Amino acid sequence: GDVYKVRKNGSDELFAVNVIVKTSRTAQRSEEQSRELAIMKSLSGKHPNLMKLLGWRDTAFNFQLFMPLYTMDLRKHIRSAPSPISFRNGKTIISQLCSAVAYLHENEFMHRDIKPPNILIKCQPLAAVLGDFGSAKAFLPGLPMTPKMCTLWHRAPEILANQEAYDLSSDVWSLGITFVEIEL
């Protein structure tokens, strides 16, 4: 979907709205879109480093997810830093992301697309929030998973090998690649 910065009517409060177009043939949410909404609703507000869903709206042609507005994503944060990210800031970001992923896994969800553009940053005070649950899924051991999930450069070896039997550790791999990007 496309994300827009919007202002609440009659106030100065800013937030983000993710507008996700429904399938053109049926004007219904796809299974993946419905799953994303359900996961966000079930996790919203339960962990400070997971994207909070403020609300949602269904229209005839799209559905809209309302979320807090963040300064930038981690990729932009890394690129805009005048010098490498300090050890202290890197440690803060990594700690918060580990906590978010641990919470997801404890609740038997896989994110399946952990990468810097899906990690939102607030600078004062420094906070990292894992967002974009479009690829997320409940993890049920033993059931095959969709191959080729996750962005190529953050994909775990078992997914690269087209194995359908990957598990929660693939998120940990993606998280590790993200750590390397922060450190470099």
Among candidate residues 72, 80, 90, the one with its CA nearest the CA of residue 184: 90
**Dist. CA 78–CA 176, nearest whole Å:** 16
For 65, the enclosing helix (H) or strand (E) is strand 62-68
Residue in 2, 12, 113, 171 annotated catalytic:
113
For 5, the enclosing helix (H) or strand (E) is strand 2-7
Which CA distances in Å does 10 have to 6, 13, 14, 68, 121? Answer: 12, 9, 11, 17, 27
12 is catalytic: no
**Dist. CA 47–CA 90, nearest whole Å:** 20
Residues with a catalytic annotation lie at 113
